[in-house]
Amino acid sequence: MTARAVAALTRASWYQAKSYRLSLVMQVFGLMFTVIPIYFIANALQPTMAGSISAESREYFSFMLVGSIALMFVTVGVSSLQGTIGTGISNGYFESLLMTRTPVAALLVGLTSYPLLLASIRASVMVAAGWILGAPIAWSQVVPALLIILLLFAVHWGIGLVGSGLIMAFRTAGPLTSIVTTISIFFGGVYYPVSAIPSWLKNIADATPLAYGLRALRRVLLLGDSLSAVGSDLAILAAMGVFTLIVGAAAFSVALGYAKKAGTLSTY
C-alpha cells in the first residue's frame, strides 16, 4: 500500500506538472542556459582555481557543475516538503491526505518523490550538458554517485521535516531554509573547496553535511574514486542523516500532534 500511495502522489504531481507544458520544458531544458555561463566563468577562473581543487576535480568547470547539482538536491531536500505542506494546509489538501488510510510517513515520501524525481532529471540534463562541454565524467561511477546524492538528500530531507513541523505548528519555518542554504553555499564547498575556508570558520564547515557529501561526490563522479575511498566522508554523512531523520521525524510527529490539538491543520 505504501508504494502504491507514493506512486499515486508522484503520478498526481506529474500530471499537474505536465499540464503546464511550457513551464515543464523550461524547467528541464532551460538548464542549458545555466550550464553555459558556468562553463565560461569556470574556464576563466581555471588557472586560479586549478591548484586548490585538485583533490576533488581536475578542472574547475566540472567542480562547479557538480557543486551546483548537489546544491540543487540540498535545496529540494530542505524546502520541497515545507512548500507542499504549507500550500496543502491553506487549501485543505493536506487534511484530505491525512484522512486517507495511507500512513503519514508514506504521505511525506509521496509528497517529496516528484520534486526529487524532477531534481534527478534536471541533474541528469546538467551532467549531460557538462559532458558535452568537456567535463570529465566517470560514467562507471554513476551508481555510487547516485547513492551519495540520495544520502545527501536524506540528510537535508530530515531538516525539511523539522521545517514542515514548524509550518504545521506555527505557520512559518522562520529562516530555516535560508540558513541551511546559505551555510551550504558558503561552507559546503559549492563554488570553492572547503580547504579554502579560513581556519577560524572551519568548525562551521565541519558541521555542514554538504561539505562531506560534495567532496565524496566529486571524487567519485569526477576522479573515478570508489565508495570505499570516500568511506570516511560517507560515514560522517550517514551519521548526520540518521541524526537529522530521527530529529526530523520526532519534530514532525510532535508538530502534527500539536496542530491536531490546536486545530491549526486547516487554518493558515
Which residues of this chain interact with other proteins, rule CB under 8 A?
1, 4-5, 7-9, 11-12, 15-16, 19-20, 88, 91-93, 95-103, 257, 260-263, 265-266
Q: Cβ of residue 17: shortest distance to other proteins, in angstroms?
A: 9
When the beta carbons of 113 and 208 are compared against other proteins, the nearer one is: 113
- Among residues 74, 81, 77, the alpha carbon closest in space to that of 108 is found at 81
Q: Cβ of residue 7: shortest distance to other proteins, in angstroms?
A: 7
Q: Cβ of residue 166: shortest distance to other proteins, in angstroms?
A: 17
Q: Contact 138/223 with Cβ under 8 angstroms?
A: yes
When the beta carbons of 99 and 143 are compared against other proteins, the nearer one is: 99
Q: Cβ of residue 98: shortest distance to other proteins, in angstroms?
A: 6
Whole-number Å distance between alpha carbons of 212 and 206: 8
When the beta carbons of 7 and 44 are compared against other proteins, the nearer one is: 7
When the beta carbons of 198 and 263 are compared against other proteins, the nearer one is: 263
Q: Say whether 55 sits in a helix, a strand or coil.
A: coil
- Among residues 125, 109, 150, 110, the alpha carbon closest in space to that of 13 is found at 110
When the beta carbons of 98 and 236 are compared against other proteins, the nearer one is: 98
Q: Cβ of residue 95: shortest distance to other proteins, in angstroms?
A: 6
Q: Contact 168/264 with Cβ under 8 angstroms?
A: yes
Only one residue has cell 561552507, namely: 187
- Among residues 168, 190, 193, the alpha carbon closest in space to that of 181 is found at 190
Whole-number Å distance between alpha carbons of 113 and 84: 12
- Among residues 216, 246, 218, 211, the alpha carbon closest in space to that of 234 is found at 216
When the beta carbons of 12 and 196 are compared against other proteins, the nearer one is: 12
Q: Say whether 207 sits in a helix, a strand or coil.
A: coil
Q: Which three cell numbers stand for residue 117?
A: 524525481
Q: Say whether 60 sits in a helix, a strand or coil.
A: helix
Q: Cβ of residue 14: shortest distance to other proteins, in angstroms?
A: 10
